[in-house]
Amino acid sequence: MQDNMHWFMKLKSGIILVLAAMMMASCIKERNLNYDKALLENEIGNNNLMIAYRVPAGYKMVDSDFTDSIAKLEHALDPFAERRIAIFVDTLLGNANISLYDMRQLPYERTEDRLDLYKAAYNPNNQWESIEKNVFKYGDFEKIVELIMVNETQNRRLQKYYFYENGKAQFSVDYYFRNDYYNDLKPYIDASLASFHKDVQIIISR
């Protein structure tokens, strides 16, 4: 009898969490992003994440061996860190880059705890003078969490985006650049964000 009651309470708690997540998702507002292909490079597909996307014009992907070496070092320092899978550098502006991360292996609680306490989790050494969090939805993704981190004194800006599916962050993308480039780069970043979409390829073997 006691076991049945414990099972019932766990089931009830699970149902409440699912309903709360559904209600929260329904309250998330859609963001209007201008998908202007003229501002972007050619589309890139990632078969593991089953997505396709474009980066701003002028950004080029670095060699995969270099990316893998950085990813291995980051994993050695923190086995639960996001896994960096692609890096793009700006060939025109300099000191600007984009990184794509695979988050599927991360525990749900790890990501959510950090986002709940984002001001402390993403600014342990006060390297950012301000951090802002926004939540919106766009296109194929039920939720996108945006973190905007700015240091005006050092002229640095990091915009990080978590893309959710089935209630969990599946991947993230970082846009890092000089803060005084923000107004010029904003249309390019918005267009790049708008380009992310699910890309499921069905392969039939014979």
How far apart CA 101 and CA 152 sit, in angstroms, is 26
- Looking at the DSSP bridge assignments, the partners of residue 97 are 89, 176
Confidence (pLDDT) at 204: 43
- Cα Rg of the chain, angstroms: 19
- Residue 12 pLDDT grade (very low, low, confident, very high; cuts 50, 70, 90): low
pLDDT band at 135 (very low <50, low <70, confident <90, very high): very high
The Cα 74–Cα 82 span in angstroms is 9
Residue 104 has pLDDT above 70, yes or no: yes
User: At residue 91, what are phi and psi to the nearest 5 degrees?
Assistant: -85, -5
Is residue 8 classed as helix, strand or coil in its secondary structure? helix
Could you tell me which residue, 17 or 140, shows the higher pLDDT?
Answer: 140
The confidence score (pLDDT) of residue 1 equals 56
**Residue-wise pLDDT tens digits, 146-195:** 999 999 999 999 999 999 999 999 999 999 999 999 999 999 999 999 99
| pLDDT at residue 16, as a whole number | 46
Pinpoint the alpha helices (H) of the chain. Answer: 2-27, 64-77, 108-116, 118-121, 182-195
Q: Retrieve residue 84's tokens.
A: 């960096």
Q: How many CA atoms lie within 13 A of 93 on its CB side?
A: 21
Report the pLDDT value the prediction gives residue 48, as an integer from 0 to 100.
Answer: 92
Write out pLDDT tens, residues 22-68: 555 558 899 889 999 999 999 999 999 999 999 999 999 999 999 99
User: Is residue 10's pLDDT more than 60?
Assistant: no
Return the closest-CA partner of residue 99 out of 192, 3, 6: 192
Instruction: List C-alpha distances in Å: 132 to 36, 67, 157, 203.
Output: 26, 28, 12, 42
Residue among 62, 60, 99, 96 nearest 82 (CA): 99
Q: What is the pLDDT of residues 71-94, one digit of tens each?
A: 998 888 888 888 999 999 998 877
